[in-house]
Amino acid sequence: MKIKAALARKINHLTVEEVELSPPKATEVLIQMKAAGVCHSDLHTYRGELRATPPLVLGHEGAGIVTAVGHNVSKIKPGDRVTINWLPACETCPTCLNGRHNVCERLATTTFKAVLLDGTTRLTASDGLSLKHMLGVATMAEYAVVDQAGVVPIPDEVPFEVAAVIGCAVATGVGAVVNTARAKPALPAAVIGCGGIGLSAIQGCQLAGLNPIVAVDVMESKLTFAKKMGATHTIDATQKDAVEILRAITQGGPEYVFDSVGSAITVGQSLQAVRPGGKAIIVGLHAAKVEIPLSVATLVLQNKCLLGSFVGSIRPRLDLPNLMDLYVAGKLALDDLITKRYRLEQVSQAFDDMESGQVARGVLVFE
């Protein structure tokens, strides 16, 4: 079938074009997309800064309605409302059996190579160019084909836009607090970087009962969003020494620092700022291809923990439904996280607004 999609034919080249999408195979489903989140990972991908590079169709956050299924699909049926799980764990490899579904050993040969679980693609450009599926899903398109393991049903009370961002931004931010840090209540926390993931981490800090919650960013607009999402204090890192101010506000440093940026600068700041015995949790991937020097003395002599948190250390089939239940119960204010909606043809504007700090989280909405 012919569909419209956000396509990166080559690095730093973004267009919306008509492409051909082949039908689902035996264990796959066809989804009519209703919403797709706009994430920095999409931007990094079309700029060639992550493992999978163009040519590909962008998008990994998404939600929609199942319209067709392969003959061996047993868990999903046409008409089901679903969110995308772009981390379809095999649940049989040693890593999965140890409970680490977010780093399943299968991901390296499928998801991170931007192909489906059988190692192939279903997308072709109008000139015959074979296209990969970003993170194995390619949600910035009118329709998507994914394996049945790559979808999770969503309740009727959860809007498609909310379900879309739960699949990555919210899971990553909240999961970093709840799963990776296993945060204990009534302790001080800081969140560095207040984009969609950082704002979700602030929500996670509230959920865990942390206090105070200090938000750090270089854009005043993002700090304004952080206050609305629950930050008790904010620091403009362009105007102040963020580490010193963090130590002053939290009387010696936060117990937990969540770095949603992951740059060479912010990783160092996180480790410096956290109090002795505390945890610095790195969530962002801005320095994915950079070697970062660290102070062994700071790490060892002060008994600090430096942790990586990939997609919030989630177990998708358990955590995504739980996050949706928390939203329905009013414990996650995710409607406020989505500050602007765009048509597919406005995807370039959506990326521009994200980079300039004009939105907390932007979402593409399909008719």
List, in sequence order, every beta strand (DSSP E) within the chain. 2-10, 13-21, 28-38, 56-57, 63-69, 81-84, 123-125, 130-133, 143-147, 151-153, 189-192, 213-217, 233-236, 256-259, 279-282, 305-308, 338-342, 361-365
Say whether both 77 and 129 belong to one domain.
Answer: yes
pLDDT of residue 190: 98
pLDDT of residue 48: 87
pLDDT at 287 over 80: no
Q: Are 58 and 138 in contact (CB under 8 A)?
A: yes
Q: Is residue 79's pLDDT more than 90?
A: yes
| Whether 108 and 222 share a structural domain | no
Instruction: Assign residue 147 the CATH number of its domain.
Output: 3.90.180.10
The residues, any chain, with a CB within 8 Å of residue 127's CB and separated by 6 or more, are none
Closest CA to 62 of 117, 140, 136: 140
Which residue, 294, 310, 326, sits at the end of a domain?
A: 310
Same domain as 79, residue 25: yes
Residue 322 forms part of a structural domain: no
Residue 240 has pLDDT above 90, yes or no: no
DSSP string covering 216-272: EES-HHHHHHHHHHT-SEEEETTTS-HHHHHHHHTTS--SEEEESS--HHHHHHHHH
Tokens encoding 105: 């050993």
Number of domains in the chain: 2
Q: Do 241 and 298 belong to one domain?
A: yes
Domain presence at residue 321 = no
Question: Residues 10-55: pLDDT tens digits?
Answer: 999 999 999 999 999 999 999 999 999 999 999 989 898 877 889 9
* Residue 277 within any structural domain of the chain: yes
Based on the domain organization, do 203 and 257 belong to the same domain?
A: yes
| Same domain flag for 233 and 357 | no
Q: Within a domain: residue 320?
A: no
* Other CB atoms within 10 Å distance of the CB of residue 337: 27
Span 123-127, mean pLDDT?
97
CB 85 within 8 A of CB 167: yes
What is the model's pLDDT at position 174? 98
Pair 4, 343: CB distance under 8 Å: no
Assigned token pair, 298: 């700071």
CATH, residue 225: 3.40.50.720
How far lies 207's CA from each of 167, 182, 187, 330, in Å?
18, 12, 13, 11
Integer Cα distance of 176 and 332 in angstroms: 15
177 and 280 in a single domain? The answer is: yes
Same domain, 216 and 113: no
Task: Note whether 233 and 348 are same-domain residues.
Answer: no
- Do 114 and 19 share a structural domain? yes
pLDDT band at 189 (very low <50, low <70, confident <90, very high): very high
- Domain range holding 270? 172-310
147 and 236 together in one domain: no
Question: Could you give the CA distance from residue 283 to residue 263 in angstroms, rounded to a whole number?
Answer: 10
Q: b or e along 95-126 (b: 16 or more beta carbons within 10 Å of the residue's beta carbon)?
A: bbeeebbbbbebbeebbebbbbbeeebbbebe
Both 265 and 124 in a single domain?
no
- Is residue 165 situated within a structural domain? no
> Does residue 259 lie in a domain region?
yes
Q: State pLDDT tens for residues 57-78.
A: 999 999 999 999 999 999 899 9
Report if residue 278 sits inside a domain.
Answer: yes
> How far apart (Å, rounded) are the C-alpha atoms in residues 346 and 343?
5
* Domain end (from 293, 310, 327): 310
Query: Is 164 inside a domain boundary?
Result: no
Mean pLDDT, rounded, of the chain: 95
